[in-house]
Structure 1
Amino acid sequence: MKTPRLPIALQQAVMRSLRHLLQLACEKLALLFAEPALVYQQRGTAAGTAWLEKWEIHLNPVLLLENQQAFIDEVVPHELARLLVWKVFGHVPPHGKEWKWMMQEVLGVPARRIHQFEIDSVRARTFPYRCGCQQHHLTLRRHNCVLRGESEYRCVRCKSLLKPGDYSPS
């Protein structure tokens, strides 16, 4: 899928939100933080990711276009909080008590770990595989690794090797 071109006004709205939240954090924490880079290249079903060491926020342009205000209200603070927590507390669980505190008390946003956006437009094609107990769906990348003999995958439940094909209980 080709990455859509985002309207300048939408990119500016995202940046305004980021700057507002960053200023709020600087004031409430009495610390200075550099402005993180925004990268609109997140793919798949993730709305965004925080790249801690690079001090970047990667955003999914497809989901942003489809869920503009909700994305700005939820995803931008979520990923900024991840960066801020890393700077203030170091390596801690990604959505632990520090992140919840940062979201709610510092940024004033409800702490939700996952988005509720419709993802049909970004869902990757999957391939059916089976084990002894259930059906699995492997991504194109993992499917190709199996075909090339580079990887094999096991079910975490029954530990048997995944085989291509639909599941049919014995």
Structure 2
Amino acid sequence: MKSAAEKTKVQSGTCRDGQYDNSRGGLQDPAGTLPDEKKKRILEKARELYNQSGSKGEVPEVCFNLKGRAAGQWRMTGGQEQLRFNPQAFVLDWDAHFPATVAHEIAHSLVYRDHGPRGARPHGPEWQARMRAFGCEPRVTHDTPLPGRKMKTHDYACDCRHHLLSARRHHLIQRKHYRYQCRQCGATLRLGNNTRGAAD
């Protein structure tokens, strides 16, 4: 097993395993561990697709630390491109995600390189053309049943029942002094006890 901060350099791309652990700033292994041979195939496919496109930039860092229902993500972090993949998606249904999910995220990267941050819609005609050039159907969603992120909820009460509010709404109430009212009785919601009721 690799150490928390260890990185593996694979030709012109960088691979990183695990998820960020905000309490320690390190990396942890994800729940759905993808074999190294398959990670290598994803990195090789990424390099091949960038070369096929004639892109002048290097292959961005590739991370296998995405969680939740998304199978892949392209993003800019601190002015650097990054490709993130959900290892569980590839473990559950390799054929559905390789190479389609890899091509999907690289197509986003190439559209950004060609048109800038506001030059094209995320899944617009430019992105669709890139996907077709890669020999992939320009699908926006996938069918792999991935578990969503577990969202923390907070118990609030009104005069008629309990409400489960998201962490965001709880923060707005506690820190920004927002007020939410029950749609049924009209009473302002107040922080409740541990009893779980219907979600609003």
TM over 0.5: yes
| 2:58 corresponds to 1:34 | yes
Where does structure 1 lack aligned partners over 5 or more consecutive residues? 130-135, 155-159
From 13, 19, 24, the equivalent of 2:52 is 24
CA distance in 2, matches of 1:21, 1:116: 24
Change (3 A) 1:167 1:56: closer
Where does structure 2 lack aligned partners over 5 or more consecutive residues? 1-18, 20-28, 156-162, 181-185
CA distance in 2, matches of 1:33, 1:87: 8
Q: Which has the higher helix share?
A: 1
- Contact 1:48–1:79 (CA under 8 A) maintained in structure 2: yes
Change (3 A) 1:48 1:137: farther
- Contact 1:128–1:166 (CA under 8 A) maintained in structure 2: no
Q: Where does residue 150 of structure 1 map in the other structure?
A: 175
What percentage of residue pairs aligned between the two structures are identical?
A: 22
Change (3 A) 1:32 1:137: farther
Cα deviation per residue 1:63-111 (whole Å; 9 max; x = unaligned)?
Answer: 222122322222100000000000011122111111111111x212110
Change (3 A) 1:40 1:143: farther
Q: Where does residue 44 of structure 1 map in the other structure?
A: 68
CA distance in 2, matches of 1:153, 1:77: 45
The higher-RCO structure (CA 8 Å, 6+ apart) is: 1
| 2:131 corresponds to 1:103 | yes
CA distance in 2, matches of 1:137, 1:77: 39
Size of the aligned set, in residue pairs, is: 150
Output aligned runs, 1:57-72, within 5 Å: 57-72=83-98
| 2:112 corresponds to 1:80 | no
- Contact 2:164–2:199 (CA under 8 A) maintained in structure 1: no
Pairwise CA RMSD? 3.4
Shift of 1:32: 2.3
| 2:148 corresponds to 1:116 | no
- Contact 1:127–1:143 (CA under 8 A) maintained in structure 2: no
Q: Where does residue 15 of structure 2 map in the other structure?
A: none
Q: Where does residue 8 of structure 2 map in the other structure?
A: none
Change (3 A) 1:87 1:55: same
